[in-house]
Chain A
Amino acid sequence: MALSSQHGCLSMNPRLLENQCKVDAIMPFGNTHNQLKMNYTAEQEYPDLSKHNNHMAKVLTPEMYANLRDKQTPSGFTLDDVIQTGVDNPGHPFIMTVGCVAGDEETYEVFKDLLDPVIEDRHGGYKPTDKHKTDLNPDNLQGGDDLDPNYVLSSRVRTGRSIRGFCLPPHCSRGERRGIEGLSVEALGALDGDLKGKYYALKDMTEEEQQQLIDDHFLFDKPVSPLLLASGMARDWPDARGIWHNDNKTFLVWVNEEDHLRVISMQKGGNMKEVFNRFCTGLTKIEELFKEKGHEFMWNEHLGYVLTCPSNLGTGLRGGVHVKLPNVSKHEKFGEILKRLRLQKRGTGGVDTAAVGGVFDISNADRLGFSEVELVQMVVDGVKLLVDMEKCLEAGQSIDDLMPEQK
């Protein structure tokens, strides 16, 4: 056993201090005891995952743990940092959570032995050698401007972006987080035209501003989900967190919540084309503004845009609508239809809520392996079909002829 009973105080033993690799600096969260852990065997440190059901727990064998545990990214993020949220949150028997996060861009490289199979499992068989297409040209989207507003109540597209060179929310220091906020506010401040807007720092906003943001459904709160808290991304709340939105309230950016930036384009009604147009224009402009200042977004041709949670890699894009489908949703084949269309349903309160009054949040199920245009196209085509089906069922007609093929 690693700890001899002869000397009570391990850290005071000069022999052991020599053997510990000297660490001259650490980030505030992470790498706390990576050298100390090496005094124990991998078996002694391996987490108890016997009651766990998440992607990490499925993949992380004792052998893999042993191989990866002495590694760290240049900024000091370790395997245990990656998996802490998955160890602390065994998951749900029916819902498969991811169970790991990245602390910086290099996490996905240094811990690829763990993250590649997790990514493959989560993203429909995406291989380590696959390449991801990025397409933010809104002209490539066909149609999408004529979803029936009698059924489609609102349209929305969101994604995330990370600023290269900075640690991600689970790992960043306060100084870095403030740096991210500063750069973002500067870039967003240069937007003009219909994208011109204003930043509201969480810690500085007035009561009136706060109420307005709540009424607009823009305000985000300190995370309460243990999935997020256990990863360390809520540290120092609300320091350097804030919300930016344009004057028209159709383009919204969250700063330093679960990712460096979350970018949202939305409006009432069914004109997804306009929403996607603004989304692409806004994102492209923001990226240019960052580049002017010598920064870029984390991106590579294998993983696309790099974000904190492996589930958001690739496009990080969720494009969706709030749509009335009281009849279709009761059809026995509803689930099958959505599956074939590569769509997913949620309640209108967002993830993990139930639908109210037959109104559903319908969005793309995929994130990685398809481009932005392809995903939004799937939403546009799929929702169009669902609305047609709804009209059929309203008229008492069968929808058997309308059943789609698997996309």
Chain B
Amino acid sequence: MASMFTRVLSGRNTAVIMAGLGAGTLVSSYIMTQESGVTAGEKIKLYPPSADYPDLRKHNNCMASALTPAIYGQLRDKLTPNNWSLDQCIQTGVDNPGHPFIKTVGMVAGDEESYEVFAEIFNPVIKDRHNGYDPTTMKHPTDLDSSKITSGMFDENYVLSSRVRTGRSIRGLSLPPACTRAERREVERVTVQALSGLKDDLAGKYYSLTEMTEQEQQQLIDDHFLFDKPVSPLLTCAGMARDWPDARGIWHNNEKTFLIWINEEDHTRVISMEKGGNMKRVFERFCRGLKEVERLIQERGWEFMWNEHLGYILTCPSNLGTGLRAGVHVRLPLLSKDSRFNKILDNLRLQKRGTGGVDTAAVGDTFDISNLDRLGKSEVELVQCVVDGVNYLIDCEKKLEKGQDITIPSPVAQFRK
């Protein structure tokens, strides 16, 4: 019976037969003759991609919009050099249909090569998420020269705090959805070693999640630095919470203005912040710190994942390019009640959030205002955009205070032409 089945599989009419019979029938005649288990390779053949194609009819995320059965068929059996598969990239998007009003991304990368091997699905997703950015034809500019920022000091009657964050991945090690325990520990080791080389205002200390004391934990909570095991199913379904809290930790400088998260959603998340409105200084420290860390890892033969089309490579396609979110906590009691507020933000390419972060509501009149875009514009361009935008918002607020009218600004250009 096995030989008959083998002949069937290799015959010209295989495709017709496979399509005609239910997968169950084929499996049955095959299984009865197996003495040991069916191998993965045999299973892949028993189930054509059409049998495995996910049911995305109730889904509303970028992956579901882009993943046609044809693309799935072409990519299902491909593997990155680290044996990461398409199904593993899209699992989070299959498991989380999304929200009718919020369009999530719905897929992650397991390693740097994912973006290449599965380009047929990543590229349309990137285009959808990043305003039409086409990785095949466009180049992403990287610019960490903070001296270019102008008017980067906000009126502190309105701006309570300023912050810039990004992520960095260590080339050669798998990303959080895919990494082994040893790889994750290696990310921790490489990063902590580099950070220990920081000096002066950047000198600081590492707190491993597995080893911190109760007091250290409480202090980190009070400083709003501590991150917890992810509870969002968007993250847990992607596999990035495995082995928690092994090799996770928080590093910050003694002045508490430069903070690194290790092995949370990305290899590293880098945050520069301070109270008040000196965004220029926050960004200056951000760039200086990033460059210093990069120099220190390069001394030991490591580098960050980066290429000229996608910029800095991170786990989630939404964070490609700069991975940068620059923002302020700002009081806008009058402007926030004006019906034109959202349109103004839109045109300035800014986004509002509550002060608890993404998905929180604003408390009182204080908003978290930050850049919408990540890819296609450089760090300097995005921070300048936030600076100009927030200055404009404060100007509107002041005008409204005086009973003057405000105007909606013309839309900011998308990509560098």
Contacts and interface: CB of A to CB of B under 8 A. Distances in A.
Interface string B291-314: 000000000111100000000000
A183 B83 contact: no
B243 A182 contact: no
Contact of A234 (B87, B95, B242): B95
A8 B173 CA distance: 9
B60 to A, nearest CB: 16
Given A8-B303, A11-B113, A236-B54, 18 more contacts: A6-B301, A8-B172, A11-B82, A12-B81, A25-B40, A33-B174, A36-B183, A46-B181, A75-B39, A104-B37, A165-B38, A173-B47, A175-B47, A175-B48, A183-B24, A235-B91, A293-B28, A294-B29
B24 A75 contact: no
Nearest to A106: B37
A7 B303 CA distance: 10
Contacts of A48: 210, 243, 246
Interface residues of A, number: 68
A240 B188 CA distance: 40
30 contacts: A5-B302, A7-B172, A8-B301, A10-B172, A10-B173, A25-B41, A26-B40, A27-B43, A28-B52, A28-B91, A32-B110, A33-B179, A33-B180, A35-B83, A37-B180, A44-B185, A45-B180, A47-B181, A76-B40, A88-B244, A106-B36, A165-B34, A165-B38, A175-B23, A179-B47, A182-B22, A182-B23, A183-B24, A203-B58, A239-B54
Nearest to B94: A236
A243 B237 CA distance: 24
Contacts of A167: 43
B221 interface: no
B241 interface: yes
Contacts of B180: 33, 36-37, 40, 45, 80
A175 B52 contact: yes
B51 A178 contact: yes
A47 B243 contact: yes
Given A8-B302, A26-B85, A45 B43 contact: no
A7 to B, nearest CB: 7
Interface in A1-45: 2-12, 17, 23-29, 31-37, 40-41, 44-45
B77 A105 contact: no
B363 interface: no
Nearest to A290: B28
Contact of A84 (B22, B242, B300): B242
Nearest to B57: A203
A179 B27 contact: yes
Interface string B78-95: 011111110110010011
A74 B88 contact: no
Contact of A5 (B41, B85, B300): B300
* Secondary structure call for the A interface: loop
Contacts of A236: 54, 91, 94-95
Contacts of A2: 182
Contacts of B40: 25-27, 31, 74-76
B54 A174 contact: yes
A45 B22 CA distance: 42
A15 B237 CA distance: 34
B275 interface: no
B242 A176 contact: no
A47 B244 CA distance: 10
A229 interface: yes
B88 A28 contact: yes
A164 interface: yes
A390 B77 CA distance: 63
B246 A11 contact: no
Contacts of B37: 73-75, 104-106, 165
Given A3-B172, A8-B302, A294-B32, A75 B43 contact: yes
